[in-house]
Structure 1
Amino acid sequence: MTPSETIKILYVDDDPDDLFLVSTLLKGISDTSYELESAASLEEAIPKLEKKFDVFLVDYRLGKDTGLELIREIKTRRKHAPVIMLTGMSTGHIDREALTLGASDYLIKGEFDAHTLDRTLRYAIRDAQLMESLAHAAVKFRSIFELASDPFLLMDDEGKILEVNPAFLKKFGPEAYDPASSKNFYFKDLLSEDSSQQELEDFFLKNLDIYDMESLMTVDQEHKINSLLSIVKQEVGIFQVLIKDLSAIKAKEEEELNLKKFSSTGRIARLLAHEVKNPLTTILLSADQLHMELPESVLSESGDLIDVIRRNCDRINHLVTQLLDSTRFTELDPKIHSINALLDEALEQVNDRIDLKEITIQKQYQKDICDIQVDGEKVKIALINLIVNAIEAMPEKTGRLLLKTSIKGNLCRIEIRDNGEGIPKENLERLFEPFFTSKATGSGLGLTNTQNIILSHGGAIRVKSEVGKGTSFLISFNLQS
């Protein structure tokens, strides 16, 4: 209320002398303008509650009724309405009951003056406005909490989860938090890395109010996500945690980086081919000419050196051609195919290897998956390369190969996951580079060709791996619009 505004009061009391006294006191207050309306009973007061009053003065005794009943009625209609109870004497249980029902304060008749009445009225209005503001903020927070698309939770200063929103339950499931369970769930158990758990403990120890950290989080036993955690102290001992899934952003960045690297490698390969093949042709022609011009006596002693030159020139030429072929976007003959069928056909091509190592195959195909327009033969080559790599990385008899297909948005997605030895982190960034291989035998062009085929279709390929646990290749193709 600003000083220029009039404060409207409903005064409910069956004693006209008390009404006169209160009215006189209010008129004697110069700083604030009060407008008083009265009612002598509960029945007379209730219809007047439809009007907008700023504050209510209610006597405890209202004939056959009590002011407590009127307070209940007022609070039913306006939860945060400022109500002051007037009593004839100080009786603890009445005061407590009035306050429990939501009365802002109470005054004892005959023991207050104009100044006390004015201050009590203004404080009651101020507190009511504050409570209403807090209630609105709580509703707003609850709405944000419930409707947020990102996982959101509240935890205490020991990291125990107190409450979560629907997005959290959808992402992490009841294993992370079950409100119906008597078990305690701790936020740190979702952090996959020891360093992140230590960071969380340090946050509590340092008694910080706000903190952002990137962390790897466990969604289920086999699935982890890169996430950005925003931790904010809400009140003493209570913290809000907003979890932003960075996996999609990281995946997009990785796909763009792979495409840039592939394009860059292709440019280098074309430059190399141009710069190498021209002098290579000259060397070969010179070797042929030398073979023709050398006397027989010299050829009989040193002619095999010319053959060495020819063989190595052919080898260099072959490697350059392979490099060019593996980094040049492939020409395609696209047709409509079922990705499930292509995976099965690729699997059939390597059945002998699977049987030899007694690999267990697990299929998780989405049955109603859409067909895609791809060059079937070339996609099969890419899939065979990935499946063969997985088989070679897995142990005999205990190897498990997962083939999974799904639709997400406008993408057809394939996952090929093994439980093999995994790929060291330092090798992951070089995995699709031409001629890079960790195998004793092999050209190092298999994954380069695979990447070429996927990218030529406008698709994307990513890899996730953990040493000792296995590797996942994630492939996506655009669906037909």
Structure 2
Amino acid sequence: MSSEKIRILYVDDDPDDLILFSNILKRIKEPEYQIFSATSYNEALTKAKEHYDVYLVDYKLGKETGLDLIQKIKSLQKHAPVIMLTGMNTGSIDKEAMELGASDYLIKGEFDARTLDRTLRYAIRDSQLMESLDNAAMKFRMIFERAGDPFLLMDGSSKILEANPTFINKFGIEPHSDDSGEGYFFCDYFVDKISRLIFMDVLGKKSELYDLETELKINENLTINSLISIVKQDSNLFHVMIKDLSAMKAKEEEELNLKKFSSTGRIARLLAHEVKNPLTTIVLSADQLQMELPEEVLNESGDLIEVIQRNCNRINQLVTQLLESTRFSELDIGNHSINELLDEALEQVKDRIQIKGFEIKKEYQNDVCNIDVDAEKVKIALINLLVNAVEALPKNGGKLYLKTYIKDELCRLEIQDNGIGIPKENLERLFEPFYTSKEGGSGLGLTNTQNIILSHGGSIRVKSEEGTGTTFIISFNLSS
């Protein structure tokens, strides 16, 4: 609306009515109204292409009616304030006009300057308010549609009423596509019962909740760590915002693994320096004793000197293995397909696979996942992981899943088994040197595997659940 003058388009085929209307309008001192006129439906449509702050439309316009014109103006300018003028007080015309979007109606001969001014100002104000609300709704819809995080609207029972594309893509459901007609309930996606109770309690109290950290079920095989906030829209409508923490948790886990690995490397180097030197002295002293002691003394002492020598060699070997498993070695870098490397590693453990006779399922992303790595070293790392998976699988019903794909501009590899799984308390120690749950194991296989992957600038994470199985997720940079 102009800040100086309010432009009115007056549409009426009777020139006398225009004169009367103009005279009434002149009695209004403030604001200043500027009147423009049209005497027919077609002339009004032509002039409506210009900007007017308000329209006054007579019901009778010849062949067409004012109702037809209102409908047309509203199709051109959704929020245009239109006031119907009529000489009849029947109650039906004004109802039809309002249904078509008219702001108000006036009966000719029954309004004065004060009534006209108030009607004009209220019509313009309401139009501006509706346009503002519509713009706000449009902005909210854009935010809703384009939000990178899952966003949904639900009722007090947690029934999902609307969901943005991110939610639909991540959870694989469309709120309006349920054939049963019952719909989807957000509370069904909570893994933890306590979190679900907290969530439903908030809805029951019709209150709000911010930053509830919990785990949500995407499907039978996938869950995500999430941060959930609930904002009340009205008494029975709630907005739910879901922040997927999985990537953040994965990054934190990778950084923690790297710090732990660096710390282990420092300890290994310290041990190599502080243990090997005195150990060498002990070995040399034992050798000297063996040469210098009289035969009868050696016979009396039995094999004690050999025990010393044997255990010193054992300690020396363990320290050397620890040092080698935590030290980055020189790499012979070449361009290789992750799919081929995985298949070659799989070939090395085929005998173990054949003995147990379990099922192998492959899901490779072809021709796009090449990496610059030392092939032999990466195959050693993959063989270690495959051997672990094979040993964890049951004799009957065992399944090994191998998957390669690109995500976040990284080449990813997953090795998943449906074996016994790893207890939560043991997961944090999995890559620690000398930690093993296998009888006779050295506890350095996974440490060495981690070393190889980290030395290539990659990362390795593990997810496991007792009785369900274990998944190792390895990431490498794509070939440049």
Bin of the TM-score, shorter chain as denominator length = over 0.9
Confirm or deny: 8 A CA contact 2:176 2:183 kept in the other structure: no
1:267 aligns with 266
Match of 1:473, as an amino acid? F
Q: In structure 2, do the counterparts of structure 1 residues 178 and 317 end up closer, same or farther at CA, with 3 Å as the change threshold?
A: farther
Which residues in structure 2 correspond to 1:251-290 (within 5 Å)? Answer: 251-290=250-289
2:124 aligned partner: 125
Contact 1:151–1:167 at 8 Å: present in 2 too?
Answer: yes
TM-score (norm 1): 0.93
Q: Gaps (5+ residues) in structure 1?
A: none
Q: Secondary structure at the match of 1:226?
A: strand
Q: Secondary structure at the match of 1:402?
A: strand
Aligned to 1:388: 387
The Cα of 1:445 is off from its aligned counterpart by 0.8
Q: Which amino acid aligns with 1:204?
A: L
Q: For 1:8-407, what aligned pairs fall within 5 Å after superposition? A: 8-174=7-173, 177=175, 179=177, 181=179, 182-209=181-208, 211-407=210-406
Q: State the Cα distance separating 1:59 from its structure 2 match.
A: 2.3
Unaligned runs of 5+ in 2: none
The alignment partner of 1:476 has SS state of strand
Q: CA deviation at 1:178?
A: 5.3
TM-superposed CA distance for 1:148, in Å, is 3.3
Q: Which amino acid aligns with 1:56?
A: Y
Q: CA deviation at 1:263?
A: 1.2
Counterpart in the other structure of 1:440: 439
| C-alpha distance in 1 between matches for 2:243 and 2:412 | 22
Distance 1:40 1:19 in 2: 10
Per-residue CA distance 1:180-230 (angstroms, 9 max, x = gap): 733411122233322332232122123224533333222232122223334
Which piece of structure 1 moves more, 232-241 or 96-105?
232-241
Provide the alpha-carbon RMSD of the alignment: 2.2
Percent identity of paired positions between Structure 1 and Structure 2: 68
- CA distance in 1 between counterparts of 2:44 and 2:310 reads 110
- 8 Å contact 2:206–2:236 — kept in the other structure? no
What is the Cα deviation at residue 22 of structure 1?
2.7
Q: Which residue of 2 aligns with 1:476?
A: 475
Deviations 1:395-442 (A, max 9, x none): 111111101112335422211000111111111111100011122331
Indicate the larger mover: 97-106 or 247-256: 247-256
When structure 1 is superposed on structure 2, of 228-237 and 115-124 the one drifting more is: 228-237
Deviation of residue 452 (structure 1)? Answer: 1.0
Q: Tell me the matched-pair count.
A: 479
Contact 1:154–1:162 (Cα < 8 Å) also in 2: yes
Please say which of residues 386-395 and 306-315 is displaced more in the overlay.
Answer: 306-315
| Contact 2:335–2:479 (CA under 8 A) maintained in structure 1 | no
Counterpart Cα distance in 2 of 1:64 and 1:342: 81
Q: Distance in 2 between matches of 1:47 and 1:412?
A: 62
- Judge conservation of contact 1:8–1:35 (CA < 8 Å) in 2: yes
Distance in structure 2 (CA, Å) of the matches to 1:179 and 1:140:
26
The residue type paired with residue 225 of structure 1 is I
Distance 1:331 1:383 in 2: 19
Q: Deviations over 1:39-68 (max 9, x none)?
A: 333344332212311111222233454321
Cα distance in 2 between the residues matched to 1:471 and 1:54: 68
**Which residue of structure 1 aligns with residue 418 of structure 2?**
419
Quote the offset at 1:474 in angstroms: 0.7
Q: Distance in 2 between matches of 1:356 and 1:88?
A: 97
Contact kept, 8 Å, 2:206 with 2:235, in 1: the verdict is: no
Verify the 8 A CA contact 1:291 1:303 in the aligned structure 2. Answer: no
Give me the whole-angstrom Cα distance separating, in 1, the residues matched to 2:461 and 2:358.
Answer: 23
Deviations 1:352-405 (A, max 9, x none): 222222211111122324433322222222111111111221211111110111
Range with greater deviation from structure 2 (382-391 or 25-34): 25-34
Query: Residue type of the partner of 2:469?
Result: G
Distance (whole Å) between structure 2 residues aligned to residue 41 and residue 437 of structure 1:
92
Aligned to 1:463: 462
Give the whole-Å Cα distance in 1 for the aligned partners of 2:357 and 2:363.
Answer: 19
